[in-house]
Amino acid sequence: MSKPIPIVDSHIHLFPESHLPTLAWHRSGNPLGAQHSVDEYRQATSSTPTTPSTEEAHYLRGFIFVETDRISSVDESDPKLGWSHPLDEVSLLTRIIAGAPVAGEGHSESDRHLCLGMVPWAPVPRGPDALKKYMGLVRERTGDLCDKVCGVRYLVQDKPPGMMLEAGFVEGLRWLGGQGLAFDLGVDARQGGMWQLREAAEMMKKVFEGENARAVTIVINHLCKPNLRLPYHGPASIATHSDFLEWSSLVTAMAQYPTAYMKLSGGFSELLPLEEATEPDVKALVDRIQPWTDVVFDVFEPHRVMFGSDWPVCNVGGGGNAVSWGRWKRVVEEIMDRRGLSHAEREGVWGGVAVKAYGVKV
């Protein structure tokens, strides 16, 4: 038997209950409106060991934390928004990585090895000057652990048209490239509209092909959130649908740049919700999403595709914390089986690609 493959979960979010009021999306009755800390993540992933064993095919080496959309503004001086909540999130992750828990935050000293890197919020649209100042404040919060900051995200899926094409945004991405920091790109084809993908593809063209372009790493989240709820009557019904054809064309355009990567994540948010008590037919789920994942593997190839769970968001569509992480893992296993990936390629998708894209140490 081959030695167990280490899993690096490239996309999770963490927030203690006390921080819920600082989350921009939090409302009464929200299904994620409770503590989702390392403790809960350990429960979700309990079926996968965190240390290698000759009896297991995989083990969970750790995760990349991605910002949770805190209340914020690109304008530091905004009295109601500003930068304070995202910086407090950086402090939380620093405590997790340092093994210095505060009571009620849901982590312990023994969890310090799990967080391999953090992708905090940053005011990308304001351009290099604002980014330089903000990342200086991030370094103050992280101290000796500043090397754990491996990228940033400014969520664009809820922003107005044209923002990604503004000069400040494009120059901000180039500045990040010069600092060796990745940018996580979050667009939403199903709920936000295909225009977001069109704009993202045009933005990437400006970033990579414009004057003074630098080696920018862009990590695309959640397959661009395609409409996996299209009526399914076999692969041909998807392959000929206008939504799929445009999504495929735009993802192909994004993949032409060698430092662009795709996260194999977020599927449960786009599929019809699963129930906790009834085990899903994994093969049927993969039948439905395979046209989309085949495109991703064809155009990015396995060396630029990485596993991510999107925990705890995956719980909402995946059936709950007890089952959703393991279910998505089985879906990804079936996808790779059908692609016939080699052992080395599987190692990459499960963790090696994330390590390379983010430059983290394991």
Tens digits of residue pLDDT in 169-217: 999 999 999 999 999 999 999 999 999 999 999 999 999 987 667 789 9
User: What region does 69 belong to: left with phi over 0, alpha with psi -120 to 50, or beta?
Assistant: left
Residue 79's pLDDT band, with cuts at 50, 70 and 90, is confident
Whether the pTM exceeds 0.75: the reply is yes
Find out whether 118 and 68 touch, Cβ atoms under 8 Å: no
Nearest alpha carbon to residue 145 among 72, 92, 208:
92
Using the predicted structure, report yes or no on whether residue 1 has a pLDDT greater than 70.
Answer: no
- Detail the DSSP E strand segments found in 107-205: 115-119, 151-153, 182-185
The predicted model gives 1-13 an average pLDDT of 92
Using the predicted structure, report yes or no on whether residue 342 has a pLDDT greater than 70.
Answer: yes
Consecutive H or E run containing 80 = none
Residue 104 has what pLDDT? 96
pLDDT tens-digit map of 99-126:
999 999 999 999 999 999 999 999 999 9
In CATH terms, the superfamily for domain 5-358 is: Metal-dependent hydrolases (3.20.20.140)
Q: Where are the domains of the chain?
A: 5-358
Instruction: Calculate the average pLDDT of the chain.
Output: 96
The predicted model gives 76-98 an average pLDDT of 95
Residue 212 has what pLDDT? 63
Which of the pair, 210 or 233, is modelled with greater confidence?
A: 233
Residue 230's pLDDT band, with cuts at 50, 70 and 90, is very high
By percentage, how much of the chain surpasses pLDDT 70?
A: 99
What does the block give as tokens for 195? 């225009």
Alpha carbons 44 and 323: distance in angstroms, whole number: 7
The predicted model gives 256-273 an average pLDDT of 97
Residue 265 has what pLDDT? 98
pLDDT tens-digit map of 291-307:
999 999 999 999 999 99
CB neighbourhood size of 178 (10 A): 13
Residue 209 has what pLDDT? 87
The predicted model gives 82-98 an average pLDDT of 98
